[in-house]
Structure 1
Amino acid sequence: MTWEVSVVKHLKFLLVVVLILLMVSFVGARKYRVALIIAQGGLGDRSYNDSGFAGLTKAAYDFGVKVKAIESKDVVAQGEKLLRDAAKAGFDLVITLEYTHFEPLARVAKDFPKTKFAILNIKVDAPNVTSVIFKEHEGSFLVGALAALVTRDTSIPGINPQKKIGVIGGTKSLGIDKFLVGYEEGAHYIDPEVEVLKAYSFSFGDPAKGYELAKAMFEQGADVVYQVAGGTGIGIIKAAKDAGKYAIGVDSDQDYLAPGHVLCSMLKRVDIAVYDLIKRLVEGKLKGGEVIYYGLKEGGIDISPMTYTRHIIPKEYIEKIKELKEKIIKGEIVVTDITQQSK
């Protein structure tokens, strides 16, 4: 009888162990669901939205999460509905790339305390919202400095005797002016006499308008135009190519869009930010109520390798940009962040 009791006890113990292992396996195999709300300009902008989508799909592949990209013809006006519908659908994490969603997000997050949310480019104070802030002013300073170096050098193909550059923003807002102010500051750090033309397209998905605005700047004597207008920037880059001038890309490496006519691109690694948010979710490390910063120091902001133009730009100019980058990282140069000044 003692032997039989012993066997039964062992079998019960083994059964408990198996059940525990099965439970652990089940928990470990949980399939997280993540929604990404695409910003103005939509997918196919070859810039901001496409970069975020790349981070989403990479995370889906690496971590086995189920993902969904959500687009809208009027992502600004429908902001609250998009956020609320995603939360109701049971997504574990809802990320919005749309800057203007900060007000509706604050309301929706309060109504869905168990859902995790994240927003890029602005801070939202809520216990279940993670805010991601990029230091675009730092990267814009670098490309502005490079543009100033180039516009002074008539030995570079396409450069005229005027010291003039331009920048086109997608809308008049602090989030976009953050780029413009950094760009102008970088240019004037190199040469205070460089003239910086400014314009707004008031659209992130209108390449035709971008083309016309950039064309006008080139006709006024600008050698380089920085595009900060998402999909509208595709037209700005085309205008640079047609005029035999230079554009500066934004967010993604857009140098390939017009080889030899995109001087460089200011890289804003939205893909890294989206990927990191999902990684934190899966690892149980995504804390709401915090702000995550990405700048030159963190590797979230940078300048493209200039694959198609570095051979025509004097080496000392490229070395100068590297020097400025290090000075910003070390705090020796502090670039103005207009979004902080307004507070």
Structure 2
Amino acid sequence: MIQENAKKRLKDIRYSVLDLSPIIEGGAPTDSLRNTLDLARHVEKWGYNRYWLAEHHNMPGIASSATSVVIGHVAAGTTSIRVGSGGIMLPNHAPLVIAEQFGTLESLFPGRIDLGLGRAPGTDQLTAHALRRDRRSDGQDFPEQLGELRDYFNSSRKNYVRAIPGEGLNIPIWLLGSSGFSAQLAGQLGLPFSFASHFSPEYTNPALALYRSNFRPSAALEKPYAMVGVNVIAADTDEEAKWLSTSMQQQFLALIRNNPGKLQPPVENIDDLCSDYEKSLLAGRLSTTIIGSPETVKDKLQAFLDETQADEMIVNAQIFDHHARLRSYEILAEIVK
């Protein structure tokens, strides 16, 4: 349940970036990864707190499938911003491998690495099988995998198999979710929690309530810390922002049709591309998405903060033109200051 406390203002919380490293129509992964580093350098300068990349597979429009590699690329090209995963899909991997990868990253970039973990495959079932994920698993063994991973970082445990690098390192672990499972688990373990409101908005408040009501203080956290993902498309005018947002809408429409592809250029009228039923699905998926001019974004962002009482927001902006994408994050930085 949302705590009864003083109203939070936009400047009272932190803001971070979720980068799906979009591959645009006519572009290539090389361009996407170059743009990822350029965006990271800009948002570091603008005061964002962390920069997260997400693990997706068999997605023609996302270049961050080798998430740990891209995290190293971004961390090496920046100086102070935290860099991490939003998230690593743990059931796709042996916990020892993730402990070694993130132990290596933390050894290379001390004090700057976050390990956000999810339990979904991050892809379709056929690709999950290609990743050697057990097709019978529905993520119910995630708590055991998480416990194994945390043991590898704990130097006080007697592990006959050790993660080197990794053992003894203090790497913040976050649980990520789009429903209640990880929210409840994060609360019970006293870990920070990040909810994917940017694609699962209808479960945002129930999941946050579940996290907060189940929270138990731990060595990691004394009180709940909730970060919420949100799509923000900002431009100098409402009209431009609405036009830019049609690329993201087309991306969601492709997912609804089970036909993911590259990020498409904006269109004048998204309604021309979809049926009434698809419009209703889009409206549901994007109900917490914030689109508009600085004034519009400020008002909607404050309303979203009032509703969620988030401690931090992590912002996704699927915008076709890289310079417009930079401008969107710049506008947000100006608003919250």
TM-score (norm 1): 0.28
TM-score (norm 2): 0.29
Q: Larger C-alpha radius of gyration, 1 or 2?
A: 1
